[in-house]
């Protein structure tokens, strides 16, 4: 926790809420005290921060002004399969039933975070879920906005390794009350716009802190780790602390802005992976032929329909517009001094639009924002441009690194990747408070990705459940199972301090002794019975026996390739390697 | 010689990844109806394992297929009179629990459940009775189990292995499994047809597809026992038997069967084989160790002018003969001889052939700590995780040499290609392997092409079906155009 | 009322059975199935289906044969030992059926049983009717014994009269209601036939015994050269099946089927037709019983004489018996040997001066009137005459029973 606080203060990581005060209020106070221009405001804020009159929210996470209150979940099963430590989410975020018995251990050991007792529960005021799978997140949300499935809407889909771009197009309209995601967000924007004049009669300013970003000059921000809060240096936004930006908010126009492609896009062009591509002429050409949206006396390309948004992306993506791909290489050439535009020359005239993709999915075009070369039918493989065309790697030295000399890595002894033995059960602290009840066995519990499970067809539909065990089973080694009197298909209870799983066992010699598997990630709604061990509450899913663990070295930033980027670089999800006690379920299962 | 045409299949087991997409394609298309939900016309089994229905391969118990008694080919199930005497109760019929009791879930409980302290769940209910049930069996219960002391250990094909060999299969270092996808084999000597007292099951002359007439079927359910592969299923709702139809409505319009089209691993091949119908009885009555070769001999060469002449005389259409020449199945089965029928000892002459999987070998650590296999390329066959005898029990009526021959050729192909692409095998050794495997570089290249690179149209060579002949039997097309399709006039609903 | 149940209802049942059955066969063939539920539940089915089917098949045959061959039946039943054995076998088979049908019903009763899930309302109706049929059958066998014998005198004539289209319920209208209900419910079963799974009875695949194992169906005769389409249509608007060897087989089978069918039809049809057309008169023949003086006055003796129209194979059954008494030098009286209750042959007990029926304890005085027991009417009498010192008795083809 302390490391995370340092990381936020130094600008390595974002955190929301940002400050212990409403940023709108912060601006107001700044203005009251005479700061008017953006620069003045930023200076004022920096001073407040330096003098500790304005604090980062992360420093006192249990203070009621510092919790997040509204959670909008979109395209993720955030409450279960993504929530390592699901039972703790239930306890602290939702304030509902939970099966954990873990005791608080942080007291006395944190120095930067403010320790408050008792730990706060039920922090969320509102959980909204845009969901078509109707998974556990939907079950636990306050409001579910049913969203359309893949064949009920216009959308785009791709991943780099797949190297094709697919359209999703509506075979049927969204069923019942569901809407496409685009429609949902547009409707939300419309409502916010309609309601906001009451709160904000005129546009207002907001201060936003953003972390140091990879592929920008921020990569060179911190040659050494220095904490301004320890007096080791001055707090300088974008250098030793997060960037600060003053943003004008005009919520009343939010809907219009949602529906139109704005002028700043034309001015600023496309920025990706450190490449800047100017698009002025392309924007004009696009604007001339695209559907129009008019507001405030001006005309813009329309983004009212999802298909318009899709076409906009396709027009300005270097992956799907040969001209943009060519320009991306021009930008890379300027940067590196290499000759690279030949890679995009043959495709320069190609441009995909949504109708083209509906006729047939297309290959993404070789471009400088991605590192593969897919010309001539080559499969996509990362880093081909770096290896074959000597484009520098996006690291500190421009080469591949095995040794990482960030001071944080050095401090933790992780500068060179060497073998580290698996953490022991005791050290994992998963079984500090759990006791063996009856004939029990302690097992390492792994939650691998199974076939038909997450990232693939979901295994909790009737077909997949019929082709397996009709429930998500718990896999045990045959000798281990014999030791606790468990036969194949018997009910078992697997528990630790974090929570409990109750399901049926699969017994096989192909599971190594001492190991158990519970594939990631079934929904909690599949026929799991109650756990007599945990106050007769229902057993949970894979993340009921895990907890969230942050790895400090992954927070390191401000130094070469160690720099935050959304969905690209930052603390990864901790692995779901845990320890449990397993016993045969006493009596008959209760539902 | 009496030349007939058979639409045949090859499944390449090295490529099957056990994803079950094939099962779902068939299930969603044909068998998601009341009475049929427990049927999986296409299913995928984990072997070693007990299969679906459980232990179906044990013909001492189920008595499917044929046997030779006093030189005569007889249905194992019973004599004709014996079957009629058992018509009220078939003692060899598998019970639903040998398949599994199909279920669904009370999904509505998630929405309609009462307010409670805990979250709601959906529970399994039987699709037969509608009541809550415990799930104790499924169509793929031992999926990926490999080392199960209950399922894998009881695989009937392990019967001729020694106790020690069977014990070794349960060691985690030796645990091995592969997938065996199965559909109806559309046999040339089908025992399901023979076992049906009403004569409701028939084989189509023009293409060999075996079908159950839903009108003639009276629900005597002898066919279920007759089939040793248990690929005829009784629909408990309509009182009729059903089976894989090889997606003949798709085939008749030039499309591959759904299971084949959807196969992710691209393991499936389809094409016609010409065979000599006069030899059926003879071939099926041969002693066990001659069955595989005899079936191969029964299959005819579409390039042989003698065969072509006879085929024309027997009414085989010209474009079907052409299709037979392009058939990938012919190449796997007859030309390269690397595909074998499943359980030929059942004597039904199945026309679905398998290329046996090359399974991982148990390697060893050298003194330098390097992982290696032997330098004698084929000795690894002895250290294969599954004894060759197991594969032989599946595919060659226990004849190890049939399987070993195929393995030698497949391994020769692997090493040959490795020499080409990686270059760390000496050409002298390659020549030696080719000689031992009795193959040539040219043949190995062809095998590689068809196995690894063949596109959709090379894998599925669907003969033209000439539906006009069948249509004209029931319609005078000169005076009446665009009539309704063939099929049921009445909805197929269960009798009173 | 009686007319409805014994004359109209059987014809209604039979007509519906045939017509609806045929309609269902040709237009709704999909619904023809035994609807076996063995897959879903087999243990209780075994204890139900095997006894039921074996039992009822044999019982049905036992009911059918006397109806078709009453003469032969009488031969077999004339012998007391054979009669007893048959009666016992019949009861055993009946109990077998009761046991079977009970299992067939109880296996479908539990609310969560799989068999119940596939039990339709018609199935319940059928099961109940069949249960009643066998229960009443066993009941009759136990409480009105020797049905093997009196069946010939009561139901058989009535059924034959129905078949010959000159319905006459006389032989059954006097029977106890309990027995009548068994006859009526039998026709209820026939009525139910086309509306239930009973259709499977008429699809029993006897042809499986000689059918070749393999069945191959072609869209065209592969032996024909590829004819232009027009010719093929002109040649046959139906599917041309099979290749030559299979054609021969099919022809043989067709011929065989026609032959067997023809014979069956003839057996049933010709007599009915003949009767209808009045070709068969009811002959009345005077048979000699012997010299008058061979009979002592006051003595009642059993006499036997030939039927008026003995059939070549009747053998012993061509003989009919009667009780003859010489009451005076010229007066003879001949009593029918059949008890008027259900037709069992009565015995004359000289010491008691009574006729006694061994079946159900009917007793008649020497003049034939009822002394006690179930018989409703006095013993019938035959006309007797003297001719040239010979006693002669007037025969009819069937023994006289109740009227």
Q: What is the 3-state secondary structure (H, E, C) of chain C?
A: CHHHHHHHHHHHHHHHHHHHHHHHHHHCHHHCCCCCCCCCCCHHHHHHHHHHHHHHHHHHHHHHHHHHCHHHHHHHHHCHHHHHHHHHHHHHHHHHHHHHHHHHHHCCCCCCCHHHHCCCHHHHHHHHHHHHHHHHHHHHHHHCCCHHHHCCCCHHHHHHHHHCCCCCCHHHHCCCHHHHHHHHHHHHHHHHHHHCHHHHHHHCCHHHHCCCCCCEECCCCCCCCCCCHHHHHHHCCCCCCCCHHHHHHHHHHHHHHHHHHHHHHHHHHHHHHHHHCCCCCCCCEEEEEEEHHHCCECCEEEEEEECCCCCCCCHHHHEEEEEEEECCCCCEEEEECECCCCCCECEEECCCCEEECCCCCCEEECCCCEEECCCCCCCCEECEEEECCEEEEEECCCCCCCC
> Running DSSP on this structure, what letter comes out for residue B179?
E
Contacts of B469 in chain C (CB under 8 A): 219-220, 232
Q: Answer yes or no: do C62 and C139 share one domain.
A: yes
Query: Is the per-residue pLDDT at C279 higher than 70?
Result: no
The alpha carbon of residue C117 is apart from the nearest alpha carbon of chain B, in Å, by 5
Model pLDDT for residues C141-191, shown as the tens digit of each residue? 998 888 888 888 889 889 988 988 888 888 888 888 999 999 999 999 999
- Chain A contact partners (≥3 CB pairs within 8 A): B
Q: CB B147 to CB A468 under 8 A?
A: no
DSSP code, position A54: S
Q: Tell me, what CATH number does C360's domain have?
A: 2.102.10.10
Q: Which residues of A touch B149 (CB under 8 A)?
A: 478, 507, 509
Rounded-to-integer distance, Cα A214 and Cα A235, Å: 20
**CB contact (8 A) between residue B27 and residue A530:** no
Nearest CA-CA distance, residue B16 and chain C, Å: 32
d(CA B74, CA B53): 24
Among C197, C203, C217, select the one facing B198 at the smallest CB separation.
C203
Q: Indicate whether C114 and C181 sit together in one domain.
A: yes
Mark yes or no for CB contact C237/B476 under 8 Å.
Answer: yes
Same domain, C121 and C213: no
CB within 8 A of C238, min separation 6: which ones? B473
Residues A439 and A314 in one domain: no
Which of A350, A380, A410 represents a domain boundary (last residue)? A380
Distance from CA of C61 to the nearest CA of B (A): 16
Chain centroid offset of residue A139 CA: 21
Chain A CB contacts of B143 below 8 Å: 467-468
* Rounded distance between C-alpha atoms, residue A19 and residue A49, angstroms: 10
B135 min Cα distance to partner chain A (Å): 7
What percentage of chain A has pLDDT greater than the value 90?
Answer: 84
| Backbone φ, ψ for residue C323 (5° rounding) | -105, 120
Q: Do chains C and A touch (3 or more CB pairs under 8 A)?
A: no
* Residue C251 pLDDT class (50, 70, 90 cuts): low
Residues of chain C with Cβ-Cβ distance to B87 below 8 Å are 53, 204-205
Out of C204, C238, C266, pick the residue that ends a domain.
C204
**Three-class SS state of A526:** strand
- Nearest C-alpha of chain B: how many angstroms from A578? 22
Q: Are residues A481 and A344 in the same domain?
A: no
Whether C313 has a pLDDT exceeding 80, the answer reads no
- What's residue B470's pLDDT? 75
DSSP code per residue over A388-430 = HS-PPPSSSSSS--SS---HHHHHHT-SS----PPPPHHHHTT
- By Cβ distance, the residue of B122, B124, B171 closest to A509 is B171
| pLDDT at residue C281 tops 60 | no
Same structural domain for residues C20 and C142? yes
Question: Does A288 reside within a domain?
Answer: yes
Residue in A closest to B26 by C-alpha: A463
Total number of domains constituting chain C: 3
| A240 plus A308 within the same structural domain | no
Which residue, of C204, C223, C244, is where some domain finishes? C204
Residue A241 distance to chain B (closest CA, Å): 44
Query: Cβ of C35 under 8 Å from any chain B Cβ?
Result: yes
pLDDT at residue number C241 = 39
Which pLDDT score is estimated for A162? Answer: 81
A216 and A344 belong to one structural domain: no
The token pair at A580 is 């449990």
Question: Domains in chain A: how many in total?
Answer: 3
Which of B411, B406, B413 is closest to B443 using CA atoms?
B413
- Residues of chain A whose beta carbon is less than 8 angstroms from a beta carbon of chain B are 97, 134, 139-140, 451-452, 462-463, 465-471, 477-478, 488-489, 504, 506-513, 524-528, 530, 537-538, 591
Residues of chain B numbered 339-378 and touching chain A (CB < 8 Å): none
C289 and C382 housed in the same domain: yes
What DSSP assignment string belongs to A232-246?
A: SS---BTTTB-EEEE
- Residue C105: give the domain boundaries: 2-204
Bridge pairing between strands A515-517 and A440-446 = parallel
Same domain? For C91 and C239 the reply is no
Average model confidence (pLDDT) across chain A: 93
Architecture of domain B260-459: 2-Layer Sandwich (3.30)
* Chain centroid to CA C326: 38
Instruction: Place C282 in a pLDDT band, splitting at 50, 70 and 90.
Output: low
Residue C270 belongs to a domain: yes
Out of B19, B24, B149, closest to residue A478 by CB: B149
Host domain of residue A33 = 1-67+204-249
| ipTM field | 0.92
Inter-chain residue contact B145 with A139, CB threshold 8 Å: no
Same domain, C220 and C328: no
Note the pLDDT of residue C234. 34
Cross-chain CB nearest to A488 (options B117, B138, B150)? B150
Which chain B residue's Cα is nearest to C33?
B218
- For C37, which residue in chain B has the nearest alpha carbon? B236
Quote the pLDDT of residue C265. Answer: 61
The minimum CA-CA distance between A141 and chain B, rounded to whole Å, is 12
Do residues A448 and A301 both lie within one domain? no
Q: Is residue A232 part of a domain?
A: yes
CB B55 within 8 A of CB B154: yes
- With vertex at residue A441, the alpha carbon angle to CA A438 and CA A443, rounded to the nearest 5 degrees, is 145
CA nearest B264: which of B44, B413, B448, B447?
B44
- Flag whether residue C250 sits within 8 Å of chain B, measured between CB atoms: no
Are B88 and C39 within 8 A, CB to CB? no
Note the pLDDT tens digit of each residue in B381-392.
766 778 889 999
Q: Which of the residues C109, C192, C219, C233 would you substitute to probe the B interface, choosing the one with the greatest number of B C-beta atoms within 10 Å?
A: C219
Domain's final residue, options C218, C248, C280:
C280
Does one domain contain both C141 and C43?
Answer: yes
Q: For C43-47, what is the mean pLDDT?
A: 96
Residues 6+ apart with CB under 8 A from A189: A254, A255, A257, A258
- Average pLDDT (C90-110) is 96
Chain B residues with beta carbon closer than 8 angstroms to that of A477: 172
A chain contacts of residue B148, beta-carbon cutoff 8 Å: 478, 488, 507-509
For position C287, what pLDDT does the model report? 86
Residue among C37, C113, C209 minimizing CB distance to B236: C37
Strand partners for C13:
none
Give the per-residue pLDDT at C399.
45
Residues of A in contact with B102 (CB under 8 A): 466
CB contact under 8 A, A488 and B148: yes
**B97 to chain A, minimum CA–CA distance in Å?**
14
pTM for the model stands at 0.86
A433 plus A575 within the same structural domain: yes
Any idea where the domains of chain B sit in the sequence? 260-459
Q: How confident is the model at residue C230 (pLDDT cuts 50, 70, 90)?
A: very low
Specify whether A506 is located in the same domain as A532: yes
- C300 with C266, same domain: the answer is no
A404: in domain: no
pLDDT over 70 percentage in chain C: 80
3-state DSSP helix/strand/coil % of chain B, to nearest 5: 35, 15, 50
Please give, rounded to a whole number of angstroms, the shortest distance from the CA of C19 to a CA of chain B: 17
Contact A538 B19 (CB under 8 A): no
Residues A243 and A293 in one domain: no
Per-residue pLDDT of A379-396, as tens digits, reads 899 999 999 999 999 898
Within chain A, which residues score under 70 in pLDDT? 160, 455-457
CB–CB of B135 and A469 under 8 A?
yes
Q: Does A293 share its domain with A232?
A: no
Residues C56 and C195 in one domain: yes
Claim to verify: residue C200 and residue C346 sit in the same structural domain: no
Residue C122 lies in a domain: yes
Residues A215 and A270 in one domain: no
Q: Is the pLDDT of residue C401 over 60?
A: no
CB contact under 8 A, B118 and A537: yes
Helix (H), strand (E) at residue A522: none
CA gap A241, B1 in Å, rounded = 90
Same domain, A233 and A273: no
Instruction: For chain B, say whether C117 makes contact (Cβ under 8 Å).
Output: yes
Name the residue in chain A with its Cα closest to that of B119: A538
Note whether C217 contacts B96, CB cutoff 8 Å: no
Tell me whether B236 touches chain C (CB under 8 Å).
yes
User: Which of B291-305, B454-468, C52-66, C292-306 is predicted with the least confidence, judged by mean pLDDT?
Assistant: C292-306
Q: Do C175 and C324 sit in the same domain of this protein?
A: no
Q: What is the DSSP letter of B341?
A: E
Q: Return the partners of chain C (3 or more C-beta pairs < 8 Å).
A: B
Same domain for A209 and A61 = yes
Q: For residue range A500-547, what is the model confidence (pLDDT) as tens digits?
A: 999 999 999 889 999 999 998 889 999 999 999 999 999 999 999 999
Residues of chain B with pLDDT under 70: 360-380, 382-383, 474-490
| Residue A160 located in a structural domain | no
B-interface mutation test, from A450, A466, A476, A539, most B Cβ less than 10 A away: A466
Predicted confidence at residue C242, as pLDDT, reads 39
Contact C1, B464 (CB under 8 A): no
- For residue B147, what pLDDT is reported? 79
């Amino acid at each position: 926790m302390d490391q995370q606080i340092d990381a936020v203060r130094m600008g390595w990581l974002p955190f929301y809420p940002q400050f212990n005060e409403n940023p709108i209020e912060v601006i107001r106070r700044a203005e009251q005290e005479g700061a008017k221009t953006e620069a003045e405001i930023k200076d004022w804020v920096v001073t407040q921060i330096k003098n500790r009159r304005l604090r980062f929210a992360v420093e006192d996470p249990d203070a009621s002004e510092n919790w997040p209150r509204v959670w909008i979940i979109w395209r993720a099963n955030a409450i279960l399969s993504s929530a390592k430590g699901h039972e703790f989410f239930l306890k602290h975020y939702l304030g509902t039933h939970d099966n954990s018995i873990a005791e608080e251990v942080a007291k006395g050991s944190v120095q930067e975070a403010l320790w408050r007792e008792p730990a706060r529960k039920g922090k969320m005021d509102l959980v909204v879920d845009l969901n078509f799978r109707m998974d556990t997140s939907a079950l636990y949300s306050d409001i579910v906005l049913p969203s359309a499935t893949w064949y009920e809407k216009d959308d785009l889909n791709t991943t780099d390794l797949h190297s094709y771009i697919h359209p999703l197009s509506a075979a049927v309209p969204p069923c019942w009350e569901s809407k496409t995601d685009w429609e949902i967000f547009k409707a939300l924007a419309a409502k916010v716009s309609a309601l906001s004049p009451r709160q904000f009669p005129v546009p207002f300013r907001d201060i936003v802190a953003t972390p140091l970003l990879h592929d920008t000059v921020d990569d060179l921000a911190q040659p050494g780790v220095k904490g301004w809060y320890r007096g080791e240096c001055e707090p300088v936004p974008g250098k030793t602390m997060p960037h600060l930006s003053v943003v004008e908010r005009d919520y009343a126009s939010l809907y219009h802005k949602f529906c139109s492609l704005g002028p700043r896009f034309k001015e600023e062009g496309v920025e990706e992976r450190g490449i800047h591509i100017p698009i002025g002429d392309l924007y004009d050409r696009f604007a001339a032929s695209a559907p129009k949206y008019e507001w405030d006396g001006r005309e813009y390309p329309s983004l009212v329909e999802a298909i318009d948004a899709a076409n906009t992306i396709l027009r300005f993506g270097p992956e799907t517009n040969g001209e943009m791909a060519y320009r991306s290489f021009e930008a890379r050439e300027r940067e590196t001094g290499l000759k690279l535009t030949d890679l995009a020359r043959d495709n320069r005239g190609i441009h995909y639009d949504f109708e083209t993709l509906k006729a047939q999915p297309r290959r993404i075009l070789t471009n400088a924002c991605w590192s593969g070369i897919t010309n001539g039918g080559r499969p996509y493989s990362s880093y081909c441009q770096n290896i074959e065309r000597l484009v520098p790697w996006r690291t500190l030295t421009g080469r591949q690194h095995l040794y990482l000399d960030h001071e944080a890595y050095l401090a933790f002894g992780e500068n060179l990747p060497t073998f580290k033995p698996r953490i022991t059960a005791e050290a994992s602290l998963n079984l500090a408070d759990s006791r063996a009840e009856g004939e029990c066995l302690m097992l390492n519990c792994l939650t691998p990705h199974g076939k038909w499970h997450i990232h693939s067809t979901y295994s909790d539909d009737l077909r997949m459940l019929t082709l397996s065990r009709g429930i998500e089973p718990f896999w045990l080694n045959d000798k281990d199972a014999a030791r606790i009197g468990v036969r194949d298909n018997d009910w078992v209870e697997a528990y630790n301090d974090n929570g409990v799983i109750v399901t049926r066992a699969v017994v096989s010699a192909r599971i190594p002794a001492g190991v158990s598997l519970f594939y990631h990630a079934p929904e909690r709604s599949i026929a799991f019975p109650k756990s007599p061990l945990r106050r007769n509450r229902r057993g949970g899913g894979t993340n009921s026996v895990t907890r969230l663990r942050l790895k400090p070295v992954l927070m390191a930033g401000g130094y070469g390739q160690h720099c935050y980027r959304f969905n690209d670089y930052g603390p990864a999800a901790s692995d779901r390697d845990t320890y449990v006690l397993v016993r045969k379920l006493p009596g008959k299962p209760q539902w | 010689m009496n030349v007939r045409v058979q639409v045949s299949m090859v499944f390449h087991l090295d490529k099957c990844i056990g994803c079950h997409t094939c099962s779902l394609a068939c299930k969603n298309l044909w068998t998601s109806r009341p009475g049929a939900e427990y049927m999986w016309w296409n299913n995928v089994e984990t072997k070693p394992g007990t299969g679906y229905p459980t232990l179906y391969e044990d013909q001492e118990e189920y008595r499917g297929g044929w046997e030779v008694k006093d030189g005569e080919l007889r249905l194992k199930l019973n004599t004709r009179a014996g079957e009629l005497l058992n018509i009220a109760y078939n003692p060899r019929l598998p019970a639903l629990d040998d398949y599994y009791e199909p279920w669904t879930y009370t999904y509505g409980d998630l929405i309609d459940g009462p307010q409670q302290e805990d979250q709601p769940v959906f529970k399994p209910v039987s699709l037969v009775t509608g009541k809550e049930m415990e799930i104790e069996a499924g169509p793929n219960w031992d999926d990926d189990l490999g080392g199960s002391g209950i399922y894998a250990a009881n695989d009937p094909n392990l019967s001729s292995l020694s106790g020690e060999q069977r014990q070794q299969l349960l060691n985690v270092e030796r645990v091995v499994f592969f997938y065996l996808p199965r559909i109806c084999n559309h046999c040339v000597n089908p025992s399901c047809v023979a076992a049906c007292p009403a004569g409701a099951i028939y084989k189509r002359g023009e293409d060999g597809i075996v079908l159950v007439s839903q009108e003639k079927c009276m629900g005597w359910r002898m066919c279920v026992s007759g089939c040793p592969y248990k690929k005829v299923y009784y629909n408990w709702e309509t009182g009729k038997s059903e089976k894989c139809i090889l997606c003949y409505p798709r085939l008749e319009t030039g499309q591959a069967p759904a299971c084949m089209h959807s196969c992710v691993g691209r393991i499936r091949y389809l094409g016609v084989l010409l065979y000599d119908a006069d030899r059926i009885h003879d071939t099926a009555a041969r002693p066990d160790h001659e069955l595989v070769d005899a079936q191969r001999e029964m299959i005819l060469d579409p390039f042989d002018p003698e065969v072509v002449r006879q085929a024309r005389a027997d009414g085989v259409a010209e474009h079907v003969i052409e299709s037979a020449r392009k058939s990938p199945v012919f190449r796997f089965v007859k030309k390269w001889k690397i595909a074998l029928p499943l359980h030929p000892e059942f004597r039904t002459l199945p026309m679905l052939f398998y290329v046996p999987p090359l399974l991982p070998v148990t390697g060893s650590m050298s003194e330098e700590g390097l992982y290696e296999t032997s330098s004698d390329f084929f000795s690894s066959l002895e250290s294969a995780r599954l004894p060759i005898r197991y594969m032989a029990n599946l595919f060659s009526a226990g004849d190890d040499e049939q399987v070993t021959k195929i393995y030698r050729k497949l391994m020769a192909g692997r090493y040959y290609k490795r020499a080409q692409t990686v270059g760390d095998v000496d050409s002298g050794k390659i020549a030696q392997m080719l000689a031992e495997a009795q193959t040539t570089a040219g043949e190995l290249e062809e095998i590689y092409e068809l196995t690894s690179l063949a596109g959709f149209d090379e894998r599925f060579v669907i003969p033209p079906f000439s539906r006009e002949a069948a249509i004209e039997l029931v319609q005078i097309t000169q005076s009446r155009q665009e009539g309704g399709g063939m099929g049921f006039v009445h909805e197929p609903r269960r009798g009173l | 009322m009686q007319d409805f149940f014994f004359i109209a209802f059987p014809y209604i049942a039979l007509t519906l059975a045939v017509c609806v059955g045929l309609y269902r066969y040709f237009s709704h063939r999909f619904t023809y199935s035994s609807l076996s539920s063995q897959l879903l539940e087999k243990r209780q089915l075994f204890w139900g289906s095997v006894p039921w089917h074996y039992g009822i098949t044999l019982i049905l045959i036992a009911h059918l044969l006397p109806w078709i061959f009453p003469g032969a039946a009488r031969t077999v039943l004339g012998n007391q030992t054979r009669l007893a054995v048959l009666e016992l076998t019949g009861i055993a088979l009946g109990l077998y059926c009761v046991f079977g049908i009970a299992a067939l019903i109880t296996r479908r009763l539990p609310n969560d049983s799989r068999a119940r899930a596939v039990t339709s309302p018609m199935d319940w109706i059928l099961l109940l009717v069949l249960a009643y049929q066998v229960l009443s059958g066993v009941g009759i066998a136990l409480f009105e014994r020797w049905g093997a014998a009196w069946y010939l005198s009561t139901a058989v004539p009535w059924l034959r009269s129905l078949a010959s289209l000159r319905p006459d319920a006389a032989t059954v209208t006097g029977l106890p209601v309990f027995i009548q209900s068994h006859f009526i419910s039998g026709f209820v079963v026939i009525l139910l036939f086309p509306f239930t799974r009973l259709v499977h009875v008429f699809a029993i695949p006897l042809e499986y015994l000689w059918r070749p194992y393999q069945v191959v169906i072609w869209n065209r005769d592969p032996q024909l050269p590829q004819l232009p389409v027009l010719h093929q249509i002109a040649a046959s608007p139906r599917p041309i099946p099979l290749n030559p060897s299979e054609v021969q087989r099919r022809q043989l089978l067709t011929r065989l089927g026609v032959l067997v069918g023809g014979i069956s039809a003839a057996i049933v049809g010709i007599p009915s037709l003949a009767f209808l057309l009045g070709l068969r008169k009811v002959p009345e023949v005077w048979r000699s019983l012997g010299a008058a003086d061979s009979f002592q006055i006051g003595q009642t003796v059993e006499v036997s004489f030939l039927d008026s129209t003995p059939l070549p194979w009747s053998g012993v059954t061509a003989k009919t018996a009667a009780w003859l008494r010489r009451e005076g030098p010229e007066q003879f009286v001949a009593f029918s040997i059949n008890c008027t209750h259900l037709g069992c042959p009565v015995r004359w007990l000289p010491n008691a001066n009574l006729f006694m029926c061994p079946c159900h304890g009917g007793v008649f005085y020497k003049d034939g009137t009822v002394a006690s027991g179930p018989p409703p009417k006095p013993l019938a009498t035959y006309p007797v005459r003297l001719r040239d010192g010979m006693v002669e008795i007037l025969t009819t083809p069937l023994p006289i029973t109740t009227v």
